[in-house]
C-alpha cells in the first residue's frame, strides 16, 4: 500500500455541489426511521388505532345521529372523528417525532460532523422533512382506508377543500415543528416543548369534542391555531356547505410566519 | 528546536521526519500563521473569551503532526478553524493551499475530520455509516478496504449503539478516511479507551499515515504525542509554547540525567559515599532507610559513572532505572506549571495554596 491517495495538484480542483449522496442519505435515514418502533407506531399506525379505538370503545359511535340538525343528521359519530384523526396524523410526526430527531442530530454532534463533509447539514434536515411528509400521507391514507373498511365513511362533500385544508395543515404544523426544533439543544428539551404544544393543540382540534360537539368558545380559540384550523377546515370540506375561509387564512398566516422564523433560527451546531 | 516563542517564519527546517517526500514537496499541507479566535464573553459584558491567542505551525506532507496541550488550551478551536467549521478573528490558515474560511467547500473533499464526541444514530450499522459517508465524496475510498484496515469487517452489521468504545473510535477514524482525504484531522482519538484499545488505535494511525495521508493529531495525552508524532506543537492558553520533534523537545529541557538504583541494605552507606564523590554527579537523593531507591542526578554520563564506581567497590545494585524525560517535563519547563490535562485554566503552581 503506497501513497495512492496523493494527487499532483495541491489545490483541490473538484468542487462539490453540497448535495452529492442525498439519495443515499435519504434512503439510509428512512431505513433508520423505520427501525425505531416508537416512531413507526406513533407516526404511521397511531391515527388508525385512534380512529378504530374510538369507533369501538365509545358506545353509540357507529349508530347514525338522530338528534342533530343537518348536515350532521344521519351521519355516524365516528365519521365526525375522521378530520380529527387526520389532524392527529399531521401533528404527531410534526411535533413529537421530527423535532426530537433534529435536536438529537444537534445534541450528538451529527450536524457539526456533516459540516466537515461535502454534504451540507441541511441535507439530513431535508431528508427528514421528506420522510415525515411521506409518513403523514401514508398514515392518513391507512386511517382512511381502514376507517372506510370498518365503519363505511361518507365521502367528502368537497374533496378539494379537504385536500387544501390538509396540505395547509401539514405546512403550518411542520413550520411549527421546525421552530420547536430550531433552537432546542437537546432531544429531551425538544420532546418536552413538542409535547407541551401537542396536547393542547389536539384538544383544540377536537380530539375530545369532535365537530359540532365542541363548545363554541373552544371552537373560537381552536380556529386561530394551526391544528384547530386544519381540523375545522377539513370538517367543513367534508360535511358542510361553504368554504372555511377564516381557517384557511389562519393556516396560511401561521405557515408564512413560522417557517421563515424556524429556518432563520435553526442552529446548525 | 525552539521553545517559546514560535518562529514567525513558516519554515521549521529542523524536522527529521521518518516519512519520505518532505524534502521533495516543500509546499506545506497545512499552514497556520498567528491564528486568533475569541468567543463572546458572558452576557452583558464586552470582554471576549480568548480561545486561541496566537498559534502558528506548518505541517508537511506525510507527517503525523501533534497538537498537544491541556483541555481548554485551544487545540480543538484551532483544528475547527482548519476544518472550516469556525471563522478565525485573525491570522491566516491554509489547507492544501486553500483558505478554509473563504472556501470551506474546497477543503471538505480533501480533509477528513474525526471530531470529539460525535455519536451516530444508534441503529445505524457500521457498513451503512461507511456507505453513507462515502456517498458524499467525489472520489471515495474503498469501503471494504477501510473496514479491513480498521479491523471493522467482522462488525459491519453491528449497530452503532452496540459497538465498544474502541470500535466506535475506529469507525470514527474510518469515516474520516472514507472520502479518501489527503489530510486527516483526528481530535482526542483515544480519550475513554482502555490501554489495549489505545495501543491498537495508535498502530492504526501509523497504518493510515503509511497510506500517504497527512495526519493532524489533537491530544491532551503526553504519551500519545510522544509515541505517534513526527513533530508537534505544545499549546497552552491559546499560545504555542514549544515545538519540534518529541526528541528535540525532551532534549531541550536540560542536559541532566537521572538514575534510580537500589542496592543491598548492607552496601547502602558505602554506595552513598561512593556516588557522592563522583564528578558526574550533581545531586543525590538518599532514602531515609537502607534498601530503598537512591536517586542520582548528574551529567549525561551519570549512569555509566555510577555503575562503574559501584562495581569497583564490589557493590552490585539490585535494580537500576533511568528516569527518562518526557513531554510532561517539557511542559513543566516551558510553562512553570505541572501538567494537569483537565485543568482548563491551570494557575502557576507557586500561586496555589495547599
Residue numbers of the domain that contains B306: 254-323
Q: Report whether pLDDT(A189) > 90.
A: yes
| Residue environment code for B65-78, b if the CB has 16+ CB neighbours within 10 A, otherwise e | bbbbbbbbbbbbbb
Region B215-219: what's the mean pLDDT? 93
Nearest-CA distance B288 → chain A (Å): 55
Contact at CB, A25 and B132, closer than 8 angstroms: yes
Element housing B48 (H / E): strand B48-59
- Please tell me whether residues B179 and B167 are part of one structural domain: yes
**A16 occurs within a structural domain:** no
CA distance B222 to A74: 81
Question: Which residues are within 8 A (CB) of A69 and not within 5 positions of it... i.e. 6 or more apart?
Answer: none
- Please tell me whether residues B197 and B261 are part of one structural domain: no
- Please tell me whether residues B156 and B283 are part of one structural domain: no
- Of A170-184, B102-116, B257-271, where does the model show the most confidence? A170-184
**B175 occurs within a structural domain:** yes
CA distance B229 to B206: 10
C-alpha grid cell, residue B156: 459491519
- Per CB-CB distance under 8 Å, the chain A contacts of B179 are 117-118
**A14 occurs within a structural domain:** no
Contact at CB, A25 and B119, closer than 8 angstroms: no
- Per CB-CB distance under 8 Å, the chain A contacts of B133 are 117
**A121 occurs within a structural domain:** yes
Q: How many domains does chain B have?
A: 2
What pLDDT sits at residue A176? 96
**B341 occurs within a structural domain:** no
Chain A's closest residue to B212, CA to CA, is A3
The DSSP annotation for A197-244 comes to HHHHHHHHTTSSS-GGGS-HHHHHHHTTSHHHHHHHHHHHHHH-SS--
**B351 occurs within a structural domain:** no
* CATH at B118: 3.40.50.300
- Please tell me whether residues B228 and B95 are part of one structural domain: yes
Residue B50 main-chain phi, psi, to 5 deg? -90, 115
C-alpha pair distances (Å), B353 with each of A191, B154, B348: 46, 53, 11
Q: Report whether pLDDT(B151) > 80.
A: yes
Domain-terminating residue out of B205, B227, B251: B251
Please work out, in degrees rounded to the nearest 5, the angle formed at the alpha carbon of residue A237 by the alpha carbons of A235 and A240. 75
- Per CB-CB distance under 8 Å, the chain B contacts of A3 are 21, 62, 211-212
Residue numbers of the domain that contains A83: 22-265
Rg (CA), chain A: 22
Contact at CB, B124 and A113, closer than 8 angstroms: no
- Please tell me whether residues B213 and B73 are part of one structural domain: yes
Region A197-203: what's the mean pLDDT? 96
Chain A's closest residue to B121, CA to CA, is A32
- Please tell me whether residues B147 and B258 are part of one structural domain: no
- Please tell me whether residues B56 and B201 are part of one structural domain: yes
Average per-residue pLDDT for chain A: 90
**Contact between residue B108 and residue A117 where contact means Cβ atoms under 8 Å apart:** yes
Nearest-CA distance B213 → chain A (Å): 7
**A2 occurs within a structural domain:** no
CA distance B248 to B3: 10
**B208 occurs within a structural domain:** yes
What pLDDT sits at residue B3? 47
What pLDDT sits at residue B163? 93
What pLDDT sits at residue A25? 96
**A10 occurs within a structural domain:** no
What pLDDT sits at residue A246? 96
CA distance A194 to A188: 10
How many whole angstroms from its chain centre is CA B36?
21
- Please tell me whether residues B51 and B136 are part of one structural domain: yes
Q: Report whether pLDDT(A9) > 50.
A: no
Average per-residue pLDDT for chain B: 83
pLDDT tens-digit map of B111-146: 999 987 778 999 999 999 999 999 999 999 999 999
Contact at CB, B136 and A20, closer than 8 angstroms: yes
- Per CB-CB distance under 8 Å, the chain A contacts of B118 are 108-110, 112-113
Residue A91 main-chain phi, psi, to 5 deg? -70, -35
Q: Which of A71-85, A118-132, A139-153, B334-348 has the least mean pLDDT?
A: B334-348
What pLDDT sits at residue B104? 84
Q: Report whether pLDDT(A1) > 80.
A: no
**Contact between residue A18 and residue A119 where contact means Cβ atoms under 8 Å apart:** yes
Chain B's closest residue to A117, CA to CA, is B108
**Which residue did the predictor score with more confidence, B48 or A186?**
A186
- Please tell me whether residues B86 and B185 are part of one structural domain: yes
Q: Report whether pLDDT(B9) > 90.
A: no
Q: Decide: helix, strand or coil at residue B284.
A: strand
**A12 occurs within a structural domain:** no
**B117 occurs within a structural domain:** yes
Q: Is B232 left (phi over 0), alpha (psi -120 to 50) or beta?
A: beta
- How does residue B19 score in pLDDT terms, banded at 50, 70 and 90? very low
Residue A185 main-chain phi, psi, to 5 deg? -75, -25
Chain A's closest residue to B134, CA to CA, is A21
CA distance A41 to A60: 27
| Residue environment code for B17-28, b if the CB has 16+ CB neighbours within 10 A, otherwise e | bebeebeeeeeb
Contact at CB, B105 and A15, closer than 8 angstroms: yes
**B348 occurs within a structural domain:** no
**B303 occurs within a structural domain:** yes
- Per CB-CB distance under 8 Å, the chain B contacts of A115 are 84-85
C-alpha pair distances (Å), A182 with each of A100, A105, A189, A191, B153: 11, 11, 11, 13, 38
* DSSP state for residue B346 in the 8-state scheme: P
* CATH at B266: 3.30.70.100
Chain A's closest residue to B30, CA to CA, is A10
From the list B84, B108, B180, which residue is nearest A16 (CB)? B108
**Contact between residue B90 and residue B34 where contact means Cβ atoms under 8 Å apart:** yes
How many whole angstroms from its chain centre is CA B10?
21
- Per CB-CB distance under 8 Å, the chain B contacts of A36 are 123
Chain A's closest residue to B62, CA to CA, is A3
- Please tell me whether residues B176 and B94 are part of one structural domain: yes
Interface with chain B: mutation pick from A1, A3, A40, highest number of B CBs within 10 Å: A3
How many Cβ pairs within 8 Å bridge chains A and B? 112
Q: Which of A34-38, A206-210, B12-16, B317-321 has the least mean pLDDT?
A: B12-16
Nearest-CA distance B139 → chain A (Å): 10
Domain-terminating residue out of B251, B273, B308: B251
**A111 occurs within a structural domain:** yes
**Contact between residue A228 and residue A205 where contact means Cβ atoms under 8 Å apart:** yes
Q: Report whether pLDDT(A193) > 90.
A: yes
Pairing of strands B64-68, B90-95: unpaired
- Per CB-CB distance under 8 Å, the chain B contacts of A1 are 210-211
Q: How many domains does chain A have?
A: 1
CB contact, 8 Å: B55 with chain A? no
pLDDT tens-digit map of B87-108: 889 999 999 999 988 888 888 9
What pLDDT sits at residue B13? 40
**B334 occurs within a structural domain:** no
Q: Report whether pLDDT(A14) > 50.
A: no
What pLDDT sits at residue B48? 82
- Please tell me whether residues B171 and B191 are part of one structural domain: yes
**A5 occurs within a structural domain:** no
- Please tell me whether residues B46 and B146 are part of one structural domain: yes
Amino acid at each position: 500500500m503506497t501513497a495512492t491517495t496523493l494527487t499532483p495538484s495541491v489545490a483541490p480542483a473538484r468542487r462539490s455541489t453540497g448535495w452529492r449522496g442525498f439519495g443515499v442519505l435519504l434512503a439510509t435515514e428512512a431505513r433508520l426511521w423505520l427501525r425505531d418502533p416508537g416512531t413507526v407506531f406513533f407516526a404511521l399506525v397511531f391515527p388508525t388505532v385512534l380512529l378504530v379505538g374510538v369507533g369501538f370503545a365509545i358506545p353509540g359511535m357507529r349508530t347514525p345521529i338522530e338528534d342533530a340538525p343537518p348536515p350532521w343528521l344521519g351521519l355516524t359519530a365516528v365519521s365526525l372523528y375522521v378530520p380529527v384523526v387526520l389532524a392527529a396524523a399531521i401533528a404527531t410526526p410534526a411535533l413529537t417525532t421530527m423535532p426530537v430527531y433534529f435536536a438529537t442530530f444537534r445534541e450528538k454532534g451529527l450536524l457539526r460532523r456533516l459540516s466537515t463533509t461535502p454534504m451540507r447539514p441541511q441535507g439530513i434536515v431535508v431528508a427528514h422533512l421528506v420522510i415525515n411528509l411521506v409518513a403523514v400521507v401514508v398514515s392518513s391514507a391507512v386511517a382512511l382506508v381502514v376507517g372506510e373498511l370498518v365503519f363505511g365513511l361518507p365521502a367528502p362533500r368537497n374533496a378539494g377543500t379537504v385536500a387544501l385544508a390538509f396540505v395547509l395543515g401539514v405546512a403550518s404544523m411542520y413550520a411549527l415543528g421546525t421552530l420547536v426544533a430550531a433552537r432546542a439543544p437537546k432531544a429531551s428539551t425538544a420532546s418536552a416543548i413538542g409535547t407541551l404544544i401537542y396536547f393542547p393543540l389536539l384538544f383544540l382540534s377536537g380530539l375530545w369534542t369532535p365537530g359540532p360537539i365542541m363548545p363554541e368558545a373552544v371552537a373560537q380559540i381552536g380556529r386561530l391555531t394551526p391544528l384547530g384550523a386544519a381540523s375545522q377546515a377539513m370538517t367543513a370540506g367534508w360535511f358542510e356547505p361553504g368554504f372555511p375561509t377564516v381557517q384557511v387564512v389562519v393556516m396560511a398566516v401561521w405557515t408564512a410566519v413560522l417557517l421563515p422564523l424556524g429556518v432563520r433560527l435553526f442552529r446548525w451546531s | 528546536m525552539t521553545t517559546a516563542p514560535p518562529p514567525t517564519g513558516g519554515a521549521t527546517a529542523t524536522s527529521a521526519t521518518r516519512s519520505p517526500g518532505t524534502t521533495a514537496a516543500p509546499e506545506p499541507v497545512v499552514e497556520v500563521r498567528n491564528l486568533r479566535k475569541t468567543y463572546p464573553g458572558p452576557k452583558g459584558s464586552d470582554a471576549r473569551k480568548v480561545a486561541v491567542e496566537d498559534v502558528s505551525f506548518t505541517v508537511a506532507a506525510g507527517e503525523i503532526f501533534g497538537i498537544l496541550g491541556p483541555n481548554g488550551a485551544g487545540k480543538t478551536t484551532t483544528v475547527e478553524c482548519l476544518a472550516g467549521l469556525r471563522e478565525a478573528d485573525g491570522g491566516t490558515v491554509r489547507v492544501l493551499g486553500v483558505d478554509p474560511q473563504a472556501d470551506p467547500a474546497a477543503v471538505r473533499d480533501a480533509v477528513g475530520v474525526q471530531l470529539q464526541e460525535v455519536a451516530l444514530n444508534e441503529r445505524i450499522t457500521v457498513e451503512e455509516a461507511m456507505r453513507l459517508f462515502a456517498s458524499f465524496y467525489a472520489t471515495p475510498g474503498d469501503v471494504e478496504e477501510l473496514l479491513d484496515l480498521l479491523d471493522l469487517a467482522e462488525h459491519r452489521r453491528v449497530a452503532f449503539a452496540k459497538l465498544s468504545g474502541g470500535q466506535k473510535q475506529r469507525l470514527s477514524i474510518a469515516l474520516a478516511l472514507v472520502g479518501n482525504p489527503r489530510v486527516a484531522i483526528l481530535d482526542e482519538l483515544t480519550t475513554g479507551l482502555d490501554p489495549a484499545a489505545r495501543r491498537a488505535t495508535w498502530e492504526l494511525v501509523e497504518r493510515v499515515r503509511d497510506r500517504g495521508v497527512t495526519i493532524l493529531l489533537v491530544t491532551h495525552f503526553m504519551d500519545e504525542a510522544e509515541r505517534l508524532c513526527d513533530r508537534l506543537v505544545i499549546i497552552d492558553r491559546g499560545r504555542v509554547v514549544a515545538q519540534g520533534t518529541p526528541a528535540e523537545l525532551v532534549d531541550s529541557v536540560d542536559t541532566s540525567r537521572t538514575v534510580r538504583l537500589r542496592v543491598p541494605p548492607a552496601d547502602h552507606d558505602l554506595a552513598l559515599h561512593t556516588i557522592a564523590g563522583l564528578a558526574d554527579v550533581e545531586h543525590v537523593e538518599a532514602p531515609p532507610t537502607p534498601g530503598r531507591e537512591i536517586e542520582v542526578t548528574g551529567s549525561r554520563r551519570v549512569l555509566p559513572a555510577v555503575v562503574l564506581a559501584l562495581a569497583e567497590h564490589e557493590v552490585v545494585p539490585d535494580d537500576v532505572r533511568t528516569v527518562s524525560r518526557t513531554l510532561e517535563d517539557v511542559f513543566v519547563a516551558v510553562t512553570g506549571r505541572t501538567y494537569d490535562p483537565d485543568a482548563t485554566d491551570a494557575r502557576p503552581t507557586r500561586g496555589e495554596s495547599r
